[in-house]
Chains A and B, each alone.
Chain A
Amino acid sequence: MIGGLFIYNHKGEVLISRVYRDDIGRNAVDAFRVNVIHARQQVRSPVTNIARTSFFHVKRSNIWLAAVTKQNVNAAMVFEFLYKMCDVMTAYFGKISEENIKNNFVLIYELLDEILDFGYPQNSETGALKTFITQQGIKGQHQTKEEQSQITSQVTGQIGWRREGIKYRRNELFLDVLESVNLLMSPQGQVLSAHVSGRVVMKSYLSGMPECKFGMNDKIVIDKQGKGGTTDEPGKSGKQSIAIDDCTFHQCVRLSKFDSERSISFIPPDGEYELMRYRTTKDIILPFRVIPLVREVGRTKLEVKVVIKSNFKPSLLAQKIEVRIPTPLNTSGVQVICMKGKAKYKASENAIVWKIKRMAGMKESQISAEIELLPTNDKKKWARPPISMNFEVPFAPSGLKVRYLKVFESKLNYSDHDVIKWVRYIGRSGIYETRC
């Protein structure tokens, strides 16, 4: 299991050092600094073995988190734990920075003591942790016996992510379907790979221990129902449903029920959390099409023309559109003309960045640029990185639709109808690239 956990600043100074096992000595702290943080070359692997000691690291801004072990640990678990550790810290004191870590080092030690015992990760749900580890000193002295046992049963219980006795005057929930659409397209406009990775993020402000059921236009479910019902038009339901390649769920979702019935039922944590992630690859709506045209005029000049076409309902508006056209390292000057928005050559980033605030569906826009090059004797040709794009659209490119989210709370007297529900769809660009 995990033998120790260290947090360093960008210089390699230790901010937090917690050792759980005897086989990890103080020299391990230095070994990592010397061999990884101060190493000359780029990091070649997130797992490093130095003198039979394995180091796992992740970086958050310029802070290094490293877990150390001498055993054959579950590597996936160690990384999951490190991410979780980051989440917990963020939930407690915001951004992970040297300043914040130094300011909260006592708290961090306390958290580490609680969520990692002898190197074994324990309950690390912030909802549960916050009931007994707080920033204003620790509760506990003045708690009643009931309160204490409530805490322990929550931390160890089956529903470790939610405490009993939550009350809201207004029962409300927000459902965000956040998708990122990824594309790799050849210069000729052929889709090399495309997928949507989506997340359903829920903010729930519900009283008691509500039982929820979430439904979407999952092809498997719709087809199943289609068979049962006779009135459904066969073609119609097929079109509206989507094929989900795979999905994963927050630990509150009953996985065995999903496996057998494909229904998503759960008791939600309080506040914001990620209910599910999913991936689709079929019938994706690609919101934008990028058509590049790069022409080399002699050895010292490039002509670039890029057309973007929006491909969705004209009534919808895409926002925060940004097209990034890479330029060679030996660029000396750039002239740009664009029909819409603003375009600028950013020498430090070796790219022309073209920004458009808003663009409706079924429209087209164009940029053309002349790039002057310095003559070089570099034999290696310019690698021509792909043109990438960023945007945000108010629909789900996968076609996912929320069909229902039902809330049942048997003990308290509010029903599904009393809950105010909000649903929002946001599609963003993931890695959206067109080779040129």
Chain B
Amino acid sequence: MTDSKYFTTTKKGEIFELKAELNSDKKEKKKEAVKKVIASMTVGKDVSALFPDVVNCMQTDNLELKKLVYLYLMNYAKSQPDMAIMAVNTFVKDCEDLNPLIRALAVRTMGCIRVDKITEYLCEPLRKCLKDEDPYVRKTAAVCVAKLHDINAQLVEDQGFLDTLKDLISDSNPMVVANAVAALSEIAESHPNSNLLDLNPQTINKLLTALNECTEWGQIFILDCLASYLPRDDRESQSICERVTPRLSHANSAVVLSAVKVLMKFMEMLPKDLDYYGTLLKKLAPPLVTLLSAEPELQYVALRNINLIVQKRPEILKHEMKVFFVKYNDPIYVKLEKLDIMIRLASQANIAQVLAELKEYATEVDVDFVRKAVRAIGRCAIKVEQSAERCVSTLLDLIQTKVNYVVQEAIVVIKDIFRKYPNKYESVIATLCENLDSLDEPEARAAMIWIVGEYAERIDNADELLESFLEGFHDESTQVQLQLLTAIVKLFLKKPTETQELVQQVLSLATQDSDNPDLRDRGYIYWRLLSTDPVAAKEVVLAEKPLISEETDLIEPTLLEELICHIGTLASVYHKPPSAFVEGSRGVQHKRLPPRAGSGESTESPDVGQSGPSEAPPAVIPSQGDLLGDLLNLDLAPPTATVPSVQPSMQMGAMDLLGGGLDSLMGAGLGAAPAAMPASLGGAPAVGGGLGDLFDLGGGVGMPTGSYVAPKTVWLLAMKAKGLEISGTFARRGGIIQMDLSLTNKAMSVMTDFAIQFNRNSFGLAPAGPLQVLTPLSPNQTIDVSLPLSTSGPVMKMEPLNNLQVIYPPTK
């Protein structure tokens, strides 16, 4: 057979010729003609003009010809809806054919003809096919319901196809079950609130049985569906896990990853002290490692997922570092992902090996990869303190290579190392300064300038160095300009006598000659600070900076949880929730992990669990774009109804101080702002314009009087908190932020032992002392208390920014 000839006919009048051939009497000639038509269609030519002629060929005994005509119909029916009706009769007839393959073919194709008028005619044949005696027809009909739903959802519901589809879950044939599950899952996605899948222990049992018997693809559909089920208790969860684990040895990586998803999700419900929990953890590692011997594209998918799994449960792969070593011939996308995971797994135990590898990678060819490797060395230094010294010397070696981008990347990470270990490695500054001239990337220039400014007192010619940058001030990027401004101000505060001229020069450049509002604002703030109160300026500008955290680039916890529920899918590859890349209603539902069950902490809300000392995760510095997940943590807190009244000591109400919070804080002046400012910006010393404005608002730092205090508003309604009503506001007295509260007991019994806890918030607010409520609060009594607050608490960016959560557990 040489069908390729069909691709090469490009004469004029071709359509006309084809028309004649299609109407030929000879069967062979007809078939040839249809093939030509399909070939033209493939390469993008418009052959819709031939519609009636092609449809005429449909009534044939020749199955091959029939399939070709069907293919044509699927493509062009939409553009010729009226003509498409002509084909309906043949379809209906074919649906009654004796041959099950033809019945299935007809119903399959009919579903693909996406013309409204045809759908009416589709209903009856579809109904019959859903109950066909042949499983091949039934499995095809099951998918057809999803097709029809996509065209006309209402029709599917009215015709009761959904119920028939549900019945197919109990079908004797595993492939029918799998396709029914796939169709139902897809339909359910567009009806987020309908209880369409209606998963209960009985259906789950059926699915698990079918899982053992159906094709590899069917297993994926079923596992993905299982993952959306929420087991009633840990025992059910364990029994499902037990039946899913054998799938981890399947040759198909997608089956393995979907099984991993189910296990990761249901594991959440198992008590950690359970033996089975440990067994399961151990079982997960080998299949994940095996995924790395798959084809490179699948390796990439697997690595993106492993990246998530390692963040959620680092214990699974902590001993498997070596398998993530980069191979010389790995495609670049695999190399970059492996590197990421290597850093996540780096620990004191394996750091020597990791470092040796990273050093090797830093000499490779691919620029992106080399940069990432250099950056990784810096991250190791920050993560594993014992290795810091070796990392720094490795970086110095790399700087000696004089390869431009390696040097720049090294300087950027060395800046971070300085932030983490102040006053330890400054001896290397001299080497860095030698490379000043070769830096041409903004990030590296900014980092270098920061270093010079920060350590101005130890660099003899700091003023000369900074002055050299000043020459081309307006050609620099904003990042560099801002950094230069700050660095010169620092220098001035440290060596005021020699650098007065320099500081004036930079201030005028930043304020008078610049169009950039951020730069101008910061310039003015410094100017005013320096001119009004140099001592205060020193306190502000040279304030001690908080240390940067050990882990960087962590995915924000709520997003991570959601992504874990999407293991294996595109969301887990992009590290974005489906809503970020899927249009329309699909995927808007946010999936969550089941609430942690079992051990003693179980009754606490997840919020408390996070900030509690037992499993406090490192503070997250969210990189841009990671804040996609909604941070409505409140939804996660168990509603009070689920907390049985048998444990009164554990009751709590979580309240959301939305609205008013920030306003009143602003009114209260920002006495603590300088301390909070660098903290809230994490590792980046650059200050955005927004915060600059806040300085102006304050009018002068530390002015005690005349602040406006917002009236108290009700924060927590009595009915939501077992009878305790709280209203409050924020005020600032004597430079201290205070939270004024009115507590009213609207319950029947006396309340005592009040305590308060703040969750992480954008401002680092935390109580400066315990809540002082000395007397018991009797029914209908109201007392006013003031709680001094400090801004030294942990900082986490909240969405919206002024969202503040307070846990307030009253004990009766």
Contact = CB atoms under 8 A, between A and B. Distances in A.
Interface of A: 1, 13-17, 19-23, 26, 29, 42-47, 49, 52, 54, 56-58, 69-77, 79-83, 99, 102-106, 109-110, 113, 117-118, 120-125, 132, 135, 137-138, 140-141, 143, 145, 148-149, 151-153, 155-158, 160, 184, 192-193, 195, 197, 245-251, 254-256, 258-259, 274, 276-277, 279, 379-381, 383-386, 388, 431, 433, 435
Interface string B112-138: 101000000000000000000011110
Q: Which 7 A-B pairs have the closest CB atoms?
A: A102-B4, A246-B286, A152-B136, A76-B254, A259-B246, A77-B254, A255-B246
B231 interface: no
Given A1-B186, A138-B63, A251-B215, A279 B3 contact: no
Contact of B67 (A110, A153, A156, A246): A110
A266 to B, nearest CB: 12
Given A99-B4, A117-B108, A120-B182, 13 more contacts: A43-B331, A70-B583, A77-B217, A82-B297, A118-B112, A120-B143, A122-B217, A123-B175, A137-B62, A151-B101, A157-B173, A245-B286, A431-B327
Nearest to B289: A246
A326 to B, nearest CB: 10
Nearest to B243: A256
B16 interface: no
- Counting chain A CB atoms within 10 Å of each CB, the highest count among B75, B213, B297, B570 belongs to B297
Interface in B275-304: 286-287, 289-290, 293, 295-298, 300-302
B287 A184 contact: no
B566 interface: yes
Contact of A255 (B61, B212, B570): B212
Nearest to A23: B583
Contact of B99 (A71, A143, A251, A383): A143
Interface stretch (B358-366, B422-430, B442-450, B689-697): B358-366
Contacts of A156: 135-136, 139, 173, 175-176
B250 A248 contact: yes
B437 interface: no
Interface string B48-66: 0000000000000111100
B94 interface: no
B451 to A, nearest CB: 24
User: Which one of A22, A120, A158 has the highest number of Cβ atoms from chain B below 10 Å of its Cβ?
Assistant: A120
A82 B253 CA distance: 13
A362 B277 CA distance: 48
Contacts of A52: 581-583
Given A44-B333, A145-B98, A379-B402, A74 B569 contact: yes
Contact of A132 (B101, B175, B212): B101
A102 B36 CA distance: 12
A43 B474 CA distance: 37
Contacts of B293: 197, 277, 279
Given A49-B574, A56-B297, A380-B401, A138 B100 contact: no
A116 B458 CA distance: 69
Contacts of A141: 61-63
B549 interface: no
Contacts of B212: 254-256
Nearest to A100: B4
B247 interface: yes
Contacts of B143: 117-118, 120
Interface stretch (B39-47, B480-488, B619-627): B39-47
| B interface majority secondary structure | helix
A259 B289 contact: no
10 contacts: A1-B186, A23-B583, A76-B253, A76-B258, A77-B217, A80-B216, A113-B70, A158-B214, A160-B175, A277-B293
Nearest to A275: B251
B48 to A, nearest CB: 12
A80 to B, nearest CB: 5
Given A103-B1, A118-B147, A160-B215, A113 B67 contact: yes
Nearest to B329: A431
Interface in B74-127: 75, 98-102, 104, 108, 111-112, 114
A72 B586 contact: yes
A258 B246 contact: yes
A74 B134 CA distance: 29
B323 interface: yes
B135 A153 contact: yes
Contacts of B75: 19
B245 interface: yes
Contacts of B243: 256
B328 A105 contact: no
Contact of A103 (B4, B287, B295): B4
B266 interface: no
Nearest to B586: A71
B249 A247 contact: yes
B587 interface: yes
Nearest to A45: B333
A137 B42 CA distance: 21
B257 interface: yes
Residue with the highest number of chain A CB atoms closer than 10 Å, among B247, B566, B581: B581
B101 A152 contact: yes
A76 B298 contact: yes
Given A105-B39, A251-B216, A379-B402, A75 B325 contact: no
Contacts of A75: 301, 568-570, 572-573
Contacts of A245: 286, 289-290
Contacts of B7: 102, 105
B498 to A, nearest CB: 37
Contacts of A99: 4
Contacts of B572: 75
A74 B224 contact: yes
Nearest to B300: A46
Contacts of B327: 184, 431, 433
B300 A113 contact: no
Contacts of A123: 175, 215, 217
B245 A259 contact: yes
Contact of A380 (B2, B136, B175, B403): B403
